[in-house]
A = this chain, B = another copy of it.
Amino acid sequence: MTDLSRRLFDELESLVLIDPHTHINPHSPASKTLADIMGYHYYTELAHSAGMPKAYIEDKNISPKERVGRLVEKLGDLSNTIQVSWLMEIVREFFGFQDDAITAKNWEKLYDNALAKMQQADWEQQVLKHSKLEGIFLTNDFDDPLEGFDTKKYIPCLRTDDLVFHFEKPATRERLAKATGIEATSAELLRSAIGKLFVHFKKKGARACAISIPPTFTPTKVGSGDAQKVVELAAGGKPLSADQSAQLSQFVFWTLAEFCTEHALPFDLMIGVNRRVYEDGVYQGQDLFDKRVSLLQYKDLFNAFPKVTFPISVLGTTSNNELVSYAWIFPNVVTNGHWWYSNIPSYIEIDTRSRLEAVPRTKQVGYYSDMYKLEFALPKFRMYRRILAKVLAEDFVIGRGWSETKAVEFGKQVLRGNVETIFKV
C-alpha cells in the first residue's frame, strides 16, 4: 500500500458499519467453536475442490473439533486463496494467532484458545465492537416469526426464493398457510397471503425484500387468467409444464414487486445463480453460473415499478458492465456489493473502479459481507476497504486531483451512507 492509500484506508476503517446483506442467525450470531468458522461453505467447498472427500468433511459422527482437524489437512493447498486469507485475519484479530499458517501442529491450540474466547458471555458484543458493526441485515424465511431478537440491530429482510421458485412444493404451501392462515388456492388468495407476509415483516422493521435468481428467469407480468390457472394447478398438487412453472414464478415475483411498491421496500435482486450444478458438491458448494444472462431480461420489471428500488448483485464480473450501465440509466437500479464468484479482489477492483466513475454516488451500495457468522464481517469488509482505498487514491486523489477529505467522504457514502438512505435504516 502507498502512504496515500494507507491514509484513506485508515479513515475508512474508522467507520462504524451497517452490513446490508448477511445470513446471520440472530439467535446465534457469533461462532461457538472454530468449526462454525471453518465450516463456512467457502472452506468446505475449497477443501473438497482440492480433493478432500465430501463424506470426510460432512461426516455427521464427528465433533466440531475433529471437523476442524480434518479441514486443516487441506489448508496448505488453499493457502493462496483470498478465502483462507480471511480465515487468517480472523484468527489473528480475534484469537491472537501468530504463526504463518494453521497446520497439523498448531491447530489444536488455536481451537482451544478460540473456544475459550467464544465461551465468554459477551463474545457477540466483542465481535460487533471489534468489527465496528452496529446493524446487520438478515435473510429471513418468509415464515420467520421474527421474534426474540433486537430487530434494530438485526434487521429483518424478507427472502422470497421459496415463494417464487418453490411454490409447487407442498412444504412451501404448508409453511405459507401456517404463517398467514390463508390457503393459497387461487391467485387472489396467494396475493392475500403474500400481502400478509409483507405486513408482518414491515411491522417487525424489515428493510428489504430479497431473492436470488437463476440466469434463465425473465420477470414479466402474467395475465390474470394464466395466473389463476397455474396457481390452481400448483395448489392442487398437479404437475405443471415448464412454461407453466415459469409463469407461476413470474406471477409470484410480480406480486412481490407490487407489494414492494405498496410497502416502500427495496427489492434486492441477486441475479445469475444456477442451483445444484455440481450435484455431489458439499452443502452450499453446488451452485455455479452461466454468464449468458442479461439485465435486459429485467426490462419489463424496471419499467413497471419505477417506485421500487432494486439493489442488484450480479454473480459474475462478466455482468458488471451491464450493471453499471443499467444503474446509470434506470433511476430505480442500484449497484449492490460484490457477490460470490465476483467477490475476489481482482474482480472487486475492476468492478469498483467502473462503478465509482460511472454510477451516481448516491446509487452505490459498496459492500455486504454475506456472512453466516459475525466474525467474517471484519476480514471481508477490510478486503473491500483496501480496494476502495486503492481506487480512491489512484483514480480520484491522483487521477482527478480530489482532496483526501473529499475522497474519504465518497468512500464513506458508498460504505455506509447509502445503506442508510437506500434502505431507510
Q: A residues engaging B (CB < 8 A)? A: 1, 45-46, 48-51, 77-83, 85, 274, 277-281, 285-296, 299, 302-303, 306, 316-319, 321-322, 324-331, 341-342, 344-347, 350, 353-354, 356-363, 386, 395-396, 398-400, 410
Contact = CB atoms under 8 A, between A and B. Distances in A.
Nearest to A347: B354
B280 A306 contact: yes
A82 B353 CA distance: 11
A331 B49 contact: yes
A218 to B, nearest CB: 12
Contact of A290 (B296, B318, B357): B296
A288 B357 contact: no
13 contacts: A51-B331, A77-B361, A80-B356, A80-B410, A277-B329, A281-B329, A281-B330, A287-B329, A288-B295, A289-B325, A290-B296, A291-B319, A345-B399
Contacts of A358: 81-83, 344
Copies of this chain, complex-wide, total 3
A273 to B, nearest CB: 11
A287 B326 CA distance: 9
A291 to B, nearest CB: 6
Contacts of A317: 321
A316 to B, nearest CB: 5
Given A289-B325, A318-B322, 13 more contacts: A50-B360, A80-B396, A274-B296, A278-B302, A285-B329, A288-B295, A288-B325, A290-B294, A316-B321, A316-B322, A325-B341, A344-B357, A344-B358
Contacts of A325: 288-289, 316, 341
Contact of A398 (B1, B278, B346, B360): B1
A2 to B, nearest CB: 10
A362 B321 contact: no
Contacts of A346: 350, 353-354, 357, 395
A324 B344 CA distance: 11
A364 B217 CA distance: 33
A297 to B, nearest CB: 9
Contacts of A278: 302-303, 329-330
Contacts of A274: 296
Nearest to A327: B49
Contacts of A410: 80
A202 B220 CA distance: 48
A317 B358 CA distance: 14
B329 A357 contact: no
B361 A329 contact: no
A101 to B, nearest CB: 9
Nearest to A286: B329
A363 B50 contact: yes
A139 to B, nearest CB: 21
A274 to B, nearest CB: 6
Contacts of A83: 358
Nearest to A306: B280
Contacts of A277: 296, 299, 329
A8 to B, nearest CB: 15
Contacts of A347: 321, 354
A328 B77 contact: no
